[in-house]
Structure formats: C-alpha cells, structure tokens
Amino acid sequence: MNERQRDLFLWVWSERRKPGQAAIALRGAIIGALGGVAFALILQSTMDAPVGGGIAAILPLLSRAGMLLGLSVPAFAFIGYVGANRVWAAQEMMYQSMLAAGARVPDKKPVMQAADRWPAIAVGVAVALIAGCIIALFIAFW
C-alpha cells in the first residue's frame, strides 16, 4: 500500500466508522434479514400450490411461508451481524495499526486516480455479470 492508498483508506475509514460498531452491526443484521426474506420468498415460490380453493387450501401454504420466514430471517440476520462485526474488526485493526505507526488522517479526501478505481470497476463488472446470469435464469425457468 503506497502513501496515497494509505491516506485514502484512513480518510474513508475515519468517515465510515463514525456511527460506531453497534450501528454497523445492526446494518449488517438488517441487510441479512432482508436477504432472509428474499430467500424465503424465492424458496416459497418453488413449492407446490395448494389443490382446491378456500381457506383450507391456503392455511398450509401460509404455515409453510411462516415457518420459512421464521427460520431464514433470523439465520440470515445472524450471518449479516457476524459478517459486519468481522469486517469492522479487520478494518479497525488496520486503521489503529496505521495510526500507531505514525500515520495521520488527512483533513480532506485524497484525490483518486485511475489506478485507485480499477478494483471497484472490476467488482462492478463481476456483480453486473452475476446479476445478469441470475436474471436470465429467472426468465428462462420461471
């Protein structure tokens, strides 16, 4: 990591850490819970529809949906909580070690160069490709 990258990390992390570890962990849990809802809805959509009509046919469907939500939302929320805490701890450890080594947080955000943007561009392209494949599969098999 060169000086420019170090300064960029120090500035960005000093801004992102302001809400505190508990708020960041809560955000992770909320994002995980939303993922659990999406997982349950997708899984529920693949189950067989009830035969017949009326409330007697809908009750088993609602029961399964409730069970799926009841199991997946807390599990995914826990995964999000643990993941957010782990990322927080790693970033905070790196931040504190840089400060202990004598680095100083810049007063303003360092200017990014093209070389600083390539990792984000690569991640964006990968996310777009994966999302495109998922959407294509939904369209093909729905």
Which tens digits make up the pLDDT trace of 14-32?
A: 999 999 999 999 999 999 9
Q: Domain count of the chain? A: 2
Q: Do 57 and 27 fall into the same domain?
A: yes
Full 3-state SS string of the chain: CCHHHHHHHHHHHHHHCCCCHHHHHHHHHHHHHHHHHHHHHHHHHCCCCCCCCCHHHHHHHHHHHHHHHHHHHHHHHHHHHHHHHHHHHHHHHHHHHHHHCCCCCCCCCCCCCHHHHHHHHHHHHHHHHHHHHHHHHHHHHC
The answer to whether the predicted template modeling score (pTM) of the entire model surpasses 0.85 is no
Q: Do 90 and 38 fall into the same domain?
A: yes
Q: Do 34 and 69 fall into the same domain?
A: yes
Q: Do 58 and 39 fall into the same domain?
A: yes
Which tens digits make up the pLDDT trace of 53-90?
A: 677 777 888 888 899 999 999 999 999 999 999 999 99
What's the domain range around 48? 3-108
The whole-number average pLDDT for the span 36-58 is 80
% of the chain at pLDDT higher than 90: 65
